[in-house]
Structure 1
Amino acid sequence: MTSQPISEMTERAREIFRRVVEGYIDSGQPVGSKTLASDGTLNLSSASIRSVLAELEGLGLLAAPHTSAGRMPTDAGLRIFVDGMMRVAEPTEDERAQIEARLNESGPVEQALQQASAILSDLSGAAGMVMVPTREQRLAQFNLVDLGQGRALAVLVGEDGGVENRVVELGGTISSSALDQASNYITSRLSGRTLAEAAQAMRTEISAGQSQLDDASRDLVERGLAVWSEDADERPVLIVRGAANLLDETALDDIERVRSLLEDLEDKQSVSALLDSARDAEAARIFIGSENRLFGLSGSSVIASPYRDREGRVVGVLGVIGPTRLNYARVVPMVDLTARSLGKLIA
């Protein structure tokens, strides 16, 4: 059923519709005619309000659960409310200061990503999600350090000064000269390149017989590339914090919905694909309930916003997921602010 645009609704219908949506978002419960009539500001009887509620239900904007005489917004109703009636509540100065302080105190970018997800969870009372930057850092140096017992420590240094370590199984005793030769060779080929670019260049050179490496050093290069390539494939593409927040008091009434949502969150590749669809958005994008296939069955909403590096390039997306009764007016600007603040830390 096609929902009637806001502009075609009477003023009375718009006001009743707005109060039902805001009441549902606030309480998580259907809103009845007696509740709407009780404060007296509508100057309408319960019977008149019930008539308008029935009209809005017929338009596909409201629904009446079997267990209640009250009404709650449908996904289509929430979409109309969000797009045409929502009054956005901008973050306070204190909230802005807290977000920036928590991110700035988080240390390396990896920790800032973790902190951003936690911030979103705390602000929304739902689950926070952050996609890790897709742009690989440029590399500066590579060293292999003998650990003994057939193992070496592979040390990778990025242009930003970041250092990561991995243990490489050598498969036997390797001379220090072979370790040095492999380290120098890899460093000379990867400087200023991403790992993928450096690996491609080295493999092409080795396969063409153009390298000056001996057999032992060549084997070390292959092992070093293998451990880093496998690590890159296994790195999480998504950080989720605060999933426990989804188990609030209203969840007990619909535990199957929450179970479905938690199962969906385990499919991080699919969740990342959903978030990735917001990469081209100028600000926060809102997915409500059945509008997205992944979370349609669990009746959940996602608010997502891209974050950019200092040069303005989109490097990831962050957001929150929760029940469709999310406080959109408050959460949307919070998501946008967190995205902008995180972007300031991305080189």
Structure 2
Amino acid sequence: MPTLPITELTDRAREIFRLAVQGYLDSGQPVGSKTLAGAGGLRLSPASIRSVLHDLEMLGLLAAPHTSAGRMPTELGLRLFVDGMMQVAEPTADERAAIERRLAAPGPVEAALAATSALLSDLSAAAGVVMVPRREPVLQHLQLVPLAPGRALAILVGEDGGVENRILDIDPGVTAATLQQVSNYLSAHLGGRTLAQAVAVIRAEISTGRTALDAASRDLVERGLAVWSADASQRPVLIVRGQANLLDETALEDLERVRSLLDDLENKQSVAELLEAAREAEATRIFIGAENRLFALSGSAVIASPYRNREGRVIGVVGVIGPTRLNYARVVPMVDFTAQSLGKLIG
């Protein structure tokens, strides 16, 4: 259903709609005519307000969850409010300082990204998400350690201090000395190179016979590389923090929706695919409910903004995921400021 232009509403309907939506976003509860009548500036009786609320409901902008309850915005109504009526509030000086302070903490980039995700979660009372830049770290060495007959632990260490482990199936007859020989060979060729560069050099040596490794050791080299190179382009690149924030007092009224949302967040690869839609945006994007396939069932909202390096190239996405009653006016500029700060740090 296309969004109704805000100009097609009368001034009275527009103001009542704005107050109803704002009241719902503030409280998480449907807003009734008596509450709206007490709002400053309307000067209308509850009966007159009920008539306008009914008209807005007929337009698909508001809905009454129960017969005797007040009204709450539909997804269509939220989109109309966000696009045509919302007045954003810039992050406070304390919020900006908190974001910049968290990003300035010493440590690897990934730690700063995780901290940023957690901070966004704290500030928005929702789940914070950061899509990690797709970058190939420069490697330092790879070590193969025997675990049990037929199994070894492959440890890859990057120059930035990052460490990744994989379990590797090997021939039961492979000795610790062979594993050490292969580790030395790999480390000599990995050091100072990205994985893609190292793989190209090593495979070229093996294919042309320019290595003294025997057949068993060459097989181990291939296995050691394969456990990383096979999934390098498919691994989840998303950090999610603050899922517990979604379990607030209002969640008890809609446990099935919250359970669906938490299940969606567990599927980080799908969430990363959703955030890809924000990579090409010039500014912060807002997805409400069924506007995105992933969160259609849970009726959730996503606020996401791309962050760029110094050359202006998009290198990741940062955002917030939560219920559709998010405080959009506050969270949107907060996400935008975080994206700009991340770009300065990583770019």
TM range (shorter): 0.7 to 0.9
Matches of 1:178 and 1:18 in 2, distance apart? 68
Deviation at 1:28, TM superposition (A): 0.8
Q: What is the percent sequence identity of the aligned residues?
A: 65
| TM-score calculated relative to the size of structure 1 | 0.87
CA–CA separation in structure 1 for the residues paired with 2:296 and 2:164: 41
Contact 1:57-1:63 at 8 Å conserved across structures: yes
Q: Distance in 2 between matches of 1:311 and 1:68?
A: 56
Q: Higher mean Cα deviation, 3-12 or 107-116?
A: 3-12
| Partner secondary structure for residue 264 of structure 2 | helix
Structure 1 residues 1-347: aligned runs within 5 Å: 2-39=2-39, 41-105=41-105, 107-137=107-137, 139=138, 141-142=140-141, 144=143, 154=155, 156-158=157-159, 161-164=160-163, 166=165, 171-174=174-177, 179-187=183-191, 191-192=192-193, 194-206=194-206, 208-215=207-214, 218-229=218-229, 232=232, 235-347=235-347
Deviates more, 1:249-258 or 1:208-217: 208-217
RMSD: 2.7
Following the alignment from structure 2 to structure 1, what is the Cα–Cα distance between the partners of residues 99 and 118?
11
Task: List alignment gaps of at least 5 residues for structure 1.
Answer: none
Find the aligned partners of 2:302 and 2:262 in 1 and give their Cα distance.
Answer: 14
In 2: Cα distance, 1:256 partner to 1:34 partner: 30
Structure 2: where are the runs of 5+ without partners? none
Mapped partners of 1:182, 1:251: distance in 2:
52
How far residue 228 of structure 1 moved from its aligned partner, in angstroms, is 3.3
The alpha-carbon deviation at position 201 of structure 1 amounts to 4.5
Q: Could you tell me how far apart the structure 2 residues matched to 1:255 and 1:155 are? A: 42
Query: How has the CA–CA distance of structure 1 residues 157 and 255 changed in structure 2, closer, same or farther, with 3 Å as cutoff?
Result: closer
Measured in 1, the distance between the counterparts of 2:290 and 2:260 equals 14
Cα displacement (A) at 1:342: 1.8
With 80-89 and 43-52 compared, the bigger mean Cα shift is at 43-52
Structure 1 residues 174 and 314, CA, compared in 2 at 3 Å: closer, same or farther?
A: same
Q: TM-score normalized by structure 2?
A: 0.87
Contact 1:182 1:217 in 2 (8 A): no
Equivalent residue of 1:213, what SS? coil
- SS at structure 2 position matched to 1:295: coil
Counterparts of 1:278 and 1:230, CA distance in 2: 27
1:282 partner SS: coil
- Change over 3 Å in CA distance of 1:149–1:323 after alignment to 2: closer
The count of residues paired between Structure 1 and Structure 2 equals 339
Alpha-carbon distance in structure 2 between the residues aligned to 1:37 and 1:74: 21
Give the drift of 1:184. 2.5
Task: Judge conservation of contact 2:146–2:176 (CA < 8 Å) in 1.
Answer: no
1:66-113 CA-to-partner distances (Å, cap 9, x unmatched) read 254311111011101101110100011221111100111152111111
For 2:211, the aligned partner's letter is Q
Counterpart residue type for residue 224 of structure 2:
G
- On the 8 A contact 1:127/1:245 being kept in 2, the answer is yes
**In 2 relative to 1, CA 67–297 (structure 1 residues): closer, same or farther, beyond 3 Å?**
farther
Are the aligned partners of 1:146 and 1:153 in contact in 2 as well (CA < 8 Å)?
yes
Local SS of the residue matching 2:301 = strand
Contact 1:2–1:59 (8 Å) recurs in 2: no
Change (3 A) 1:217 1:3: closer
Is 2:236–2:272's contact at 8 Å kept on the other side of the alignment? no
The 1-side partners of 2:240 and 2:84 are apart by: 30
Q: 2:107 and 2:70 mapped to 1: Cα distance?
A: 49
Deviation at residue 250 of structure 1 after TM alignment? 0.8
Aligned counterparts of 1:293 and 1:36: Cα–Cα separation in 2: 34
Post-superposition shift, 1:209? 2.4
Is the alpha carbon distance of 1:100 and 1:177 closer, same or farther for their aligned partners in structure 2, counting shifts above 3 Å? Answer: same
Question: How far apart are residue 264 of structure 1 and its match?
Answer: 1.4
| CA–CA distance in structure 1, aligned partners of residues 341 and 31 of structure 2 | 37
Provide the C-alpha distance between the structure 1 equivalents of 2:64 and 2:165, rounded to a whole number of angstroms. Answer: 57
Q: Distance in 2 between matches of 1:213 and 1:275?
A: 47
What's the CA shift for 1:302? 0.7
Instruction: Return structure 1 stretches of 4+ with deviation > 4 angstroms.
Output: 143-155, 165-170, 175-179, 230-235
2:85 and 2:183 map into 1 onto residues whose CA distance is 66
